[in-house]
Structure 1
Amino acid sequence: MKSPSVLESLEKSKEMTKKARREIWQTLSFLLILALLLYYVSSRKPEFFYEPAGKTGSITTSAQNAPEGAKGDFFAEFKISREKIQKEQMDLIKKVMEDEKASPSVREEAHLHYLALVDAMGKELKIEGILKAKGWDSLAFLSGDSCTVVVKTSKLNETDAAAIGDVVRRIAKVGLQNITIIPAP
């Protein structure tokens, strides 16, 4: 018969494996969303002209060459695209959870990933809602212990960045050093 210490170490090993798998899924989800964002931005890159930050420490961008209708489309289009991708992810995870041929450990892992995805979606929605109430249209992307926020603004000063960072820190429970804020006109 196995001693209690061996059983405890086996349980700890299983927990660490589950945690590692969950973090891998979260990272892959974040990278997929980030890849879509980068693809979308890079396909529109010639339309934008970026100005370097001034002496005041602000981050300045400009969309002088963008067509009139294109300035507000990015955020709306990306939110729709993100919703579609998240729905597809959730549907795939549900299929794994409901698959009788899948082992119990795989189904449990899928369930944990599903819960993590729902939690991240809720936090992203809260962040975007609070920032909208404060006057910023934004997109939030959570991945593990980091968050990237794209804010619809041509100029972002340190005070605004601090306010945005505080909202993200409180809701997502991530450190300020793990928050990236990107201004986008």
Structure 2
Amino acid sequence: MNKKQAVIICTLLALIVCAGVLATKLNSPLYVNGGETGTGSSTVSFNNNDKKSSKSQFFDEAKLTRDQKSAQTLQTLKTLIDDKNVSKENRDEAAKKYTELAMNTNYESKIEATLKSKGYEDAICSIEDNKVRVIVKGKDKLTDKETREIKNVVIGIAKTQEVEIETKQ
């Protein structure tokens, strides 16, 4: 190994260490609790002991699940649309459903972003069969003004009159 290779290796090593430190500072720190040294087992735990983070996990998990299902459905529909062995009628129907699902996904994210900009801590929106379901994070029951505000946002974006609103902590 010559001097140039040694400098490159040391530089890469320093960059890896910097990336690890930066990742630890930006994300929740990762603690490795070593068990007894003789057993060779260790426990990895993430520092997520906050009550707030466990309560907001519902919203994060619900969004993640919804997004995964939407992506999977969109992929299935895309496969049907691209398959030449499927009849034209079925491909047209799949294309219609694909467009509808893509638009609904777009509307959901717009509604959630708009509600957050209006001061709501978190929100989940799902659109199915011309019905919109909105779950807003809050401790108290929504006032009539807040309910009207949410309905106006939904009607303005999704152009759907049927709106169901819930609150969840």
TM over 0.5: yes
Bigger Cα Rg: 2
Q: What secondary structure is seen at the aligned counterpart in 1 of 2:166?
A: strand
Indicate which of 79, 88, 92 corresponds to 2:76: 92
Structure 1 match to 2:150 = 164
Q: Distance in 2 between matches of 1:111 and 1:73?
A: 34
Corresponding residue number in structure 1 for 2:54: 70
State the aligned residue count. 117
- Provide, for residues 127-176 of structure 1, a one-character-per-residue CA deviation record: whole Å limited to 9, x for no partner: 0010011121111111232211000111111111111111011111122x
Q: Residue type of the partner of 1:172?
A: A
TM-score norm. by structure 1 comes to 0.61
C-alpha distance in structure 2 between counterparts of 1:74 and 1:150, whole Å: 11
- Structure ranking higher in helix proportion: 1
Matches within 5 A, 1:64-143: 68=51, 69-136=53-120, 137-143=122-128
> 1:106: Cα distance to partner?
0.6
Gaps of 5+ in 1: 1-66
Q: Which has the higher contact order (CA 8 A, sep 6+)?
A: 1
Task: Name the amino acid aligned to 2:134.
Answer: V
1:153 maps to what in 2? 138
CA RMSD, aligned part only? Answer: 1.2
Distance in 2 between the 1:79 and 1:141 partners? Answer: 9
Greater share of residues in strand:
2
* TM, length-normalised to structure 2: 0.66
Mapped to 2, the partners of 1:108 and 1:145 lie a distance apart of 20
